[in-house]
């Protein structure tokens, strides 16, 4: 598909030069929103704006814009002018419109809201009141909710009236007179039900919902665990205030994974999503320099450890040959354990009450890996240096380092979670730096002890 979109971009560039408006419209009208988003990657912003201006259907434009990154959305909306931008926001899904307005300057957001019809503007304002990354901030108010005293036949008639405004009608939520969520029924069950049956009799009363103030990751976990297409959102009073659809959750999960990956490799939180890869060199460097400075300080400390044991190195030069493999293997195992733990915490597979059980499990893994690699490295050292004590010292150091690295890689994310810090920051540069210092200390301490008792055999 990538090649096809690239060829289409080249064709559209040529058609823009030749002013073949009708051909451009036909080409763009046949695209899916995701294909349009990919097309924009091959075109400058000015030409993307030209394409959008050629599309007269505001709803189609809204669909296309909802797939674009925030910077491009802002650029296009600004170029189209406030009047046109407000028309597009009016037909855009409420949650997408709120996301966009939440990213731009407050005064620009207010101006656009003032140009919109009062009812639509109030819906968007309601979503904008929620804190970022909460369930309320990603929900939509375009859902179908019916009173519990309707019959199935009356409910279907009502749905026909409400359907054009709803983002999804697979689930129909049932509310009481106080607008509290009391049930849910699928559209399929409603259609096959007895027309005269009360929906309160056929609805599912055990409704799984999420609080509007809860973290968006909680909503994502519920949808993933129960395979829902949508999840109702309620306030503290139990009143239905919104709905989160599965497409919004996919975006949340993608953003959360991207955020964790950036944290794990030591990038700052300013440039998540696709911003880092498209940023200039200065911004890229600035986003990574803080953690690299910590690593550099860790490297200096590791150098101090080597300096502290410099007399040992002078007497047994062979130990220096194996420093890289000891610290590299320790860092690799520690990062693996940390990544597994962070992933398990993020997906809810690991609970805090399983803390010690998980640490013990990873420590056993470290023991098995340590024994296996330690024996191999010990044999290599023995053959290479023809010295039994050197071989045993290196093999034993490798084994101990890997055991401790596996335990630390598991323990650090759990400690960070316990104190309310994102566990992703404990992976990558931080854990590697800690293990480098610890691994060298173990290596030289074990070597000194063995040479003290067994000599340079």
Give the domain CATH number at 154.
3.10.580.10
> Do β-strands 145-147 and 181-186 pair in parallel, antiparallel, or remain unpaired?
unpaired
Supply the pTM of this predicted model.
Answer: 0.62
Domain of residue 225, residue span:
145-246
270-304 pLDDT, tens digit per residue, is: 544 455 555 566 666 665 666 667 667 767 777 77
Q: Are residues 78 and 156 in the same domain?
A: no
Q: Are residues 118 and 151 in the same domain?
A: no
Give the domain CATH number at 384.
1.10.357.20
Q: Are residues 408 and 450 in the same domain?
A: yes
d(CA 256, CA 422): 11
Tell me which residue has tokens 């106080």. 178
- Residue 118 has a CB neighbour count (10 Å cut-off) of 9
Q: Is residue 104 part of a domain?
A: yes
Nearest 10 degrees: Cα torsion 416, 301, 392, 450: -110
d(CA 54, CA 19): 11
Output the tens digit of pLDDT for each of the chain's 457 residues: 678 888 888 888 888 888 888 888 888 888 888 889 889 988 888 888 888 888 888 888 998 998 888 888 888 998 989 999 999 998 888 888 888 888 888 888 989 999 898 888 888 888 889 988 899 988 988 888 999 999 999 999 998 887 766 667 788 999 999 999 999 999 889 999 999 999 999 999 999 999 999 988 888 888 888 888 899 999 999 999 999 988 888 777 766 666 665 555 555 545 444 555 555 666 666 656 666 676 677 677 777 777 777 776 665 666 777 788 888 888 888 888 887 887 777 666 776 667 788 888 889 999 999 999 989 988 988 888 788 888 888 889 889 999 998 988 888 888 877 777 666 655 666 777 888 888 888 888 888 888 877 765 5
Q: Is 217 exposed, middle or buried (0-12, 13-18, 19+ CB in 10 A)?
A: middle
């Amino acid at each position: 598909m990538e090649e096809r979109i690239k060829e289409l971009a080249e064709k559209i560039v040529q058609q823009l030069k030749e002013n073949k408006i009708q051909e451009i419209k036909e080409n763009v009208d046949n695209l899916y929103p995701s294909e349009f988003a990919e097309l924009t990657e091959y075109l400058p912003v000015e030409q993307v704006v030209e394409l959008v201006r050629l599309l007269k259907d505001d709803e189609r434009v809204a669909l296309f814009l909802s797939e674009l990154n925030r910077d491009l959305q802002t650029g296009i909306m600004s170029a189209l002018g406030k009047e046109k931008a407000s028309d597009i926001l009016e037909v855009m899904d409420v949650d997408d419109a709120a996301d966009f307005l939440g990213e731009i300057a407050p005064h620009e957001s207010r101006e656009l809201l003032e140009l919109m019809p009062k009812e639509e503007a109030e819906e968007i304002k309601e979503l904008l009141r929620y804190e970022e990354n909460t369930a309320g901030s990603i929900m939509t108010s375009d859902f179908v909710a019916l009173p519990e005293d309707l019959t199935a036949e009356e409910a279907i008639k009502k749905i026909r009236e409400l359907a054009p405004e709803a983002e999804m009608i697979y689930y129909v939520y049932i509310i009481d007179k106080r607008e509290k969520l009391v049930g849910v029924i699928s559209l399929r069950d409603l259609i096959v039900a007895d027309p005269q049956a009360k929906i309160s009799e056929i609805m599912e009363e055990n409704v799984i919902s999420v609080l509007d103030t809860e973290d968006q990751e909680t909503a994502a976990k519920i949808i993933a665990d129960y395979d829902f297409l949508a999840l109702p959102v309620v306030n503290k009073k139990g009143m239905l205030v919104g709905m989160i659809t599965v497409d919004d959750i996919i975006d949340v999960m993608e953003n959360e994974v991207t955020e964790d990956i950036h944290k794990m490799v030591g990038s700052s939180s300013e440039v998540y999503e696709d911003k880092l890869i498209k940023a200039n060199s200065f911004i890229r460097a600035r986003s990574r320099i803080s953690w690299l400075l910590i690593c550099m300080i860790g490297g200096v400390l590791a150098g101090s450890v080597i300096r502290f044991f410099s007399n040992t190195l002078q007497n047994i030069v062979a130990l220096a040959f194996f420093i890289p493999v000891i610290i590299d293997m320790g860092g690799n195992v520690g990062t693996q354990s940390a990544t597994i733990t962070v992933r398990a915490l993020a997906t809810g597979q690991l609970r805090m009450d399983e803390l010690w059980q998980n640490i013990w499990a990873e420590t056993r893994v470290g023991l098995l890996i340590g024994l296996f690699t330690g024996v191999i490295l010990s044999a290599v050292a023995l053959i290479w240096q023809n010295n039994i004590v050197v071989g045993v010292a290196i093999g034993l150091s490798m084994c101990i380092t890997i055991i401790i690295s596996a335990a630390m890689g598991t323990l650090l994310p759990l400690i960070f979670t316990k104190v309310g810090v994102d566990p992703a920051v404990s992976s990558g540069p931080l854990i590697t730096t800690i293990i480098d210092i610890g691994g060298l200390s173990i290596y030289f301490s074990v070597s000194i002890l063995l040479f003290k008792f067994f000599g340079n055999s």
